Amino acid sequence: MSVRLPAVFAVLSLLIASALLAEPSHEKNTIIPEGSITAGKTLFVGKGCYQCHIADGIKAPASDLDENLTIDLGGQDHANWTRDQFARSIMSPNHTVSEEYRKIMMSLGANFEAENSPMPGFNDMLTLSDLIHLTTFLESLPD
Residue 78, domain extent: 1-21+57-143
Q: With respect to residue 45, please indicate whether it lies within any of the assigned structural domains.
A: no
At residue 67, does pLDDT exceed 50? yes
- Helices 37-46 and 128-139: angle between axes, nearest 10 degrees: 100
Please give the angle made by the CA atoms of 58, 51 and 44, to the nearest 5 degrees: 55
| Cα 74 from Cα 77, distance rounded (Å) | 7
What is the domain count for the chain? 1
The pTM is what? Answer: 0.70
Q: With respect to residue 36, please indicate whether it lies within any of the assigned structural domains.
A: no
Q: With respect to residue 51, please indicate whether it lies within any of the assigned structural domains.
A: no
Cα 65 → chain centroid: 19
Cα 86 → chain centroid: 4
Please name which of 109, 127, 133 lies closest in space to residue 3, comparing C-alpha atoms. 127
3-36 pLDDT, tens digit per residue, is 555 555 555 554 555 554 544 444 467 899 999 9
Identify the residue with better confidence: 20 or 109: 109
Q: With respect to residue 39, please indicate whether it lies within any of the assigned structural domains.
A: no
Q: With respect to residue 72, please indicate whether it lies within any of the assigned structural domains.
A: yes
